[in-house]
Amino acid sequence: MSLRAADSLGGRAAVVGIGATEFSKNSGRSELALAVEAVRAALDDAGLAPADVDGMVTFTMDTSPEITVAQAAGIGELSFFSRVHYGGGAACATVQQAALAVATGLAETVVCYRAFNERSGRRFGSGVQQREPSAEGAALGWSLPFGLLTPASWVAMAAQRYLHTYGLTPEAFGHVAVVDRKYAATNPAAYFHGRPLTLAEHAASRWIVEPLRLLDCCQETDGGQALVVTTPERARDLRHRPAVVAAAAQGAGRAQGQMTSFYRDDLTGLPEMGVVARQLWRTSGLRPDEMDVAVLYDHFTPFVLMQLEEFGFCPRGQAADFVAEETLPLNTHGGQLGEAYLHGMNGIAEAVRQLRGTAVNQVADCARVLVTAGTGVPTSGLVLTR
C-alpha cells in the first residue's frame, strides 16, 4: 500500500545548478568524460566549486560510478552516494534522493547526473541482449518468446489496448509528437532544431510496431546532464533563483513489471504514475490546473497521454484532444522526442529554466512545473516551484 498522507520533504531542498554536454549522435568521447563535463557545467552554473560537493546520485545501468566521477571532476570526500534503479524511471528519483540527503543533513550539496553514449554505444532501444540471469530476466521469459523483444514492442501492447478501449486511431498519438517538435524547432540545443512536424508527416512515418510509428518513439542520444541540489538556505547565496522541490515521489503499481505489466486488470493506464501523482498533489498541496508547465517523460507518445490522465489533467481517453488544444505548455524543450533522450534528466533541467525565466520557449510568469520520469517501469516525479 502506498502512502496516504503528505510527506515532510516538500520545501526542504532546491535545484540550484544545471549543466549539460552537447546532445549528439556520436560524442566521440567516453561516458566518463561526458559525465564530468556535465557535472562541472552544473557546478559552474550554480556558482559552486567541486570542493563544495559532498554527495552524488546517479542511475543504475551507468558506466561511470559516483566515486570515479567525483575523482575525475575534482570532488573530494563524499558523505552520501546513491543509485536508483529502473532506467528512465529513476530520473526524478535522483533529485528525491538528493533532497532526502540535504533535508536530513547527510549532505549539503549533492550532484545528480546521467551520461551515456546511447546512440554510438549501447542502444537501449535495441532491447534485451546478453542479460545476466536474474529474476527480472526470468519475468521477461513470458513475453520474449512471442516476439516482444524491444521497448517499442512492449509499449505497443498497452497502446493498442488504449486505442481499442477509447475508440481511437493511431493518429491520436501524433498530437504529442507534433507539440514536442514544435518546441524543439525553436530550441538550438535540440536535435530537431528547425524541423517542426505535422500530423500528416507523423501519419506517414513508417511502422515500428503497430500501433507505434517511427515518430512515436524517442530518439537515441549521446550526452550528459547534471543537476545540483542543496538546501534552501544555501541556495539563497548562489547564482540563480532556486527551483524548490515542492514535492518528490516514487511509485510502483500492483503487478508491476519492467515495461511488460500485461497481467493487470487494465492496460489503458499507468498505475505506477498514479501512485506518484497522488503523492505529489498531497505533498505540494497543488492541483493539476495550477501547473504552469508539464514536462512529461516521452519515450513513447501513448504513455504521455496516459500520464496526463493519471495526473487528472483530463478524463480517461481524452488526453489526445487535451494535447491538441495546447491548454497546458507541454515539453517546452522539445522532450525526448525532439530535444534529446537523456533518460529524463534534460526534462528536469528544462523545468529549472522555466522557473528561472531563462527557457528558450519561456512560459510567462512560470511558477510551478510538473516533471515526470520513465513510465512502464517503477517511476518518479517532481513538482518544482519558485
Q: Which residues are catalytic?
A: 297, 341
Amino acid type, 306: M
> 79-107 b/e with 16+ CB inside 10 Å = b?
ebbbbbebbbbbbbbbbbbbbbbbbeeeb
- Cα distances from 130 to residues 97, 126, 127, 134, in angstroms, run 30, 12, 10, 12
CA distance 270 to 182: 26
Peptide bond into 170 cis (omega under 30): no
Q: Which is nearest to 161 in space by CA: 279, 38, 60, 268?
A: 268
Strands 109-117 and 55-59: parallel
Burial class (CB in 10 A: 0-12, 13-18, 19+), 286: middle
CA distance 261 to 167: 22
**Cell 532526502 appears where?**
100
Amino acid type, 63: T
**Which grid cell sits at 24?**
549528439
Strands 212-213 and 222-230: unpaired
Burial class (CB in 10 A: 0-12, 13-18, 19+), 282: middle
